[in-house]
Structure 1
Amino acid sequence: MKITNVETYLLDVPLKQKAITDSQTRLESVEFVAVRIDTNEGISGWGFNWNYTKGSRAIQTIIDDTYAPALKGEDPLLHKSLMKKLHYTNHFIGQVGITRVALCAVNFALWDIRLKVANMPLWRYLGPAKEKVKAYNTDGGWLHTTTDELVRDMNALVERGFDAVKMKLGLPDPREDYERVKQVRQSIPKEVKLMVDVNTVWDLKTAMVWGRKLEEFDIYWLEEPMNPFNKTDHAKLAQALDVPIAVGETIYTKYDFREYIEAGAVDIIQADATKLSGIDEWLDVAALARCHDLEVIPHTNVQQKLHVQLAAASSNVPMVECCYESIMDIWEDPIQVVNGYYTLPEEPGLGCKLKDSVLKDCRIG
């Protein structure tokens, strides 16, 4: 089998709900770079990556100008050697950031081909550790809502069957964050897990003071409290607080995760295959976490179908985030949540192809 063609699609997919906000971003649409790898045996593999701010044209350019020429004529089933080859094309323009995001999209497409040849979905190919995957929901906890709206939305999620929910923090005055958490915690059942996410905007002093105050509300984890590149301060915080510290959404290599773990700076690993170099590196991080008896709970916005399959094949992944529900139907055969659990796909392949209508109507490049 040989690769004959590589084609990319740059897309801007609008949300169907109102704009949503966290402490960093106001979001009205999601950019995607989709990649299709064709072979001489008629099997095509689909990969993607995404961004909730603009700039994905740079990702498309890396694939078109650097990776596509290196892939043509190669055997797609030798995906590990191809990933190594592509990685070392980028000595002078960096091996993380845009290049890593682009490499990841290629990785997904190569896996899609492998899985279609094997006639299996990813979770069955890897070997299942479980047959259903619990979902927790973030879609009721956005920062732009009033406290009354927040309480209403979080309770609506509980009524739908979610027994774990997450809300955003990071308002200019942390006292407002504290009051919002208090109102939510008092309004939802005690057995429902409540997580909070700062999206990196606190400094160490703020995280120490308000992290301690939040402990009275039985917070299941405190997510991304500070700059993710500052492992030293995360270690100080993790050692000072009883509430578990979760990081990973903006960590891009397995080596960074290893340093976090070795520093005692993290309790919950939120590895995201779309931020790492793809499935293989995500599996490395999950195995690393398992060696330290740490849970992996993937950061997920639009990539639920991918992470649910990885979760099903991993013994230390208890649940997967449910977010951006309004656009979950952009995928062919979209994944579903029923009574708080994700259904697992059965169709062969990775299952991460966007619908033809999305590829056509939302294409900008």
Structure 2
Amino acid sequence: MTTTQPVPGVPLPTAAGSAGQDGDPGRGRIVHAEAFLCDIPVEAVRTDAVQAFLKQETIVVRIRTTDGTEGLGYSYTIGTGGAAVLSLLRTTLLDVLVGQDATRPEATWRALFTSTRATTVGVIAALAFAAADTAVWDAKARLAGRPLWVEAGGASATVPVYDTEGGWLHLSTDELVEHAVASQRRGMHGVKIKVGKPRGHEDLERLRAVRDAVGPCMDLMVDANQSFTAAEAIRRARLFEQVDVFWFEEPLPAEDVAGHERLAQATSIPVAVGESMYSLGHFREYLQRGAAAVVQADVARVGGVTPWLKIAHLAEAFNATVAPHFLMELHASLTCAVPNALYLEHIPQLRAVTTSELEVADGLAHAPTDPGLGIAWDMDALERLRVA
């Protein structure tokens, strides 16, 4: 096999393939795999209670199958760690990918996982799996001639969107109101406001101003980014109930399942978690204990499309909804694939490296219809932003 340095836009070399495991004579066999890293600037200043979004380190995996079909997948960090993910791909996982059958993502994902048992479950491995797995699903859907949302389930062609870009913690109350009203006029069904000011009444005053501006018919979410103790989260939830908050996102550190359980029992506000969780078993524990009502699995952080679908269907079994974190351009297809999708987070980040945008109209995102992931990559732009 080869894992040569990639040159985006230049065709990959072809190779002869053996008979595919699914009976197709090698059509879906992966004959080449490569990985590289790009730094995509953030589109707006983004701050929350614990951090700032510095840049999107984008880890890209590109594969080609025996018949020449390509797949391009990706994952990301918000500023650090991308080189570690790239290293795991280049030293181990690309070798595993070559020879696998892109029409069998379950078998391919399991091969990746098995090759790295000493470093799983963990975020670096999950991000590496995700970049590879999304490339496999891109190729699988292209081979089938279908868009990802159909190939992965095809539940609905649209999904409601809510806006995050106007709710960052550094914004003034007037700016929060201005953004929320603008989102409402654009037809969005909800807005998310970051919380975590030093005192609860500061958060409440900001939320009340937004609620007064948009009225009772727009959903108002809050996100604490894991910044509270259980006691403080319970106290603030009682304040937030006054303005009919739609969900309370990441109130506590993700490891504190018991604290989330206590909060869920103490408030009428649904608890939302998932962006900082990396395994199917972690989601199962939350759902079994009634510690979450909204599942926000991030396809990059859970290891790709293959485990994301498992998590979505697990949530369905518990009569819970999914509203994934970030990666709007990819999650649009996944939320449309499953029957229990609640919302898509509207937070564009790929406009600098794509030639077209996700269609959003009247508060609904429309699933891409082109075969594959449906992301129109600008390969020249990716090359300009490439750092490794």
Q: TM-score, normalised by structure 2?
A: 0.89
User: Structure 1: which 5+ runs fail to align?
Assistant: none
Q: 1:318 is paired with a residue of what secondary structure?
A: coil
Distance 1:130 1:70, change over 3 A: closer
Aligned residue for 1:320?
A: 344
Equivalent runs, 1:221-236 vs 2, <5 Å: 221-236=247-262
Partners of 2:319 and 2:195 in 1: how far apart?
Answer: 28
Matched, 1:140 2:166: yes
Give the counterpart letter for 2:34 in structure 1: E
Q: Percent identity?
A: 33
Partners of 2:99 and 2:201 in 1: how far apart?
Answer: 59
Partners of 1:130 and 1:20 in 2: how far apart?
Answer: 31
Pick from 353, 365, 371 the counterpart of residue 330 of structure 1: 353
Aligned residue for 2:271?
A: 245
Aligned residue for 1:7?
A: 34
Equivalent runs, 1:17-32 vs 2, <5 Å: 17=44, 19-32=45-58
Partners of 1:273 and 1:101 in 2: how far apart?
Answer: 9
Give the counterpart letter for 2:328 in structure 1: Q
Partners of 1:269 and 1:94 in 2: how far apart?
Answer: 22
Pick from 328, 333, 343 the counterpart of residue 304 of structure 1: 328
Give the counterpart letter for 1:160 in structure 2: R
Q: CA deviation at 1:269?
A: 1.1
Pick from 132, 146, 150 the counterpart of residue 124 of structure 1: 150
Pick from 198, 209, 213 the counterpart of residue 183 of structure 1: 209
Partners of 1:28 and 1:247 in 2: how far apart?
Answer: 22
Give the counterpart letter for 2:132 in structure 1: V
Tell me if structure 2 keeps the 8 A contact 1:235–1:265: yes
Q: 2:373 is paired with a residue of what secondary structure?
A: coil
Q: CA deviation at 1:3?
A: 2.0
Equivalent runs, 1:188-227 vs 2, <5 Å: 188-227=214-253
Partners of 2:149 and 2:352 in 1: how far apart?
Answer: 21
Q: Describe the superposition over 1:195-236 as per-residue Cα deviations: whole angstroms up to 9, x where unpaired.
A: 000000000111111111110111101110001111001001
Task: Tell which deviates more after alignment, 170-179 or 99-108.
Answer: 170-179
Matched, 1:359 2:386: no
Aligned residue for 1:70?
A: 96
Q: TM-score, normalised by structure 1?
A: 0.95
Q: Describe the superposition over 1:107-145 as per-residue Cα deviations: whole angstroms up to 9, x where unpaired.
A: 111111111110010112234222221111111101111
Q: CA deviation at 1:244?
A: 0.9
Distance 1:267 1:74, change over 3 A: closer
Give the counterpart letter for 2:332 in structure 1: V
Matched, 1:344 2:367: yes
Give the counterpart letter for 2:93 in structure 1: Y
Tell me if structure 2 keeps the 8 A contact 1:47–1:353: no
Partners of 1:199 and 1:160 in 2: how far apart?
Answer: 26
Q: Describe the superposition over 1:39-65 as per-residue Cα deviations: whole angstroms up to 9, x where unpaired.
A: 232111111001112120111111111
Task: Tell which deviates more after alignment, 72-81 or 209-218.
Answer: 72-81
Tell me if structure 2 keeps the 8 A contact 1:48–1:352: no
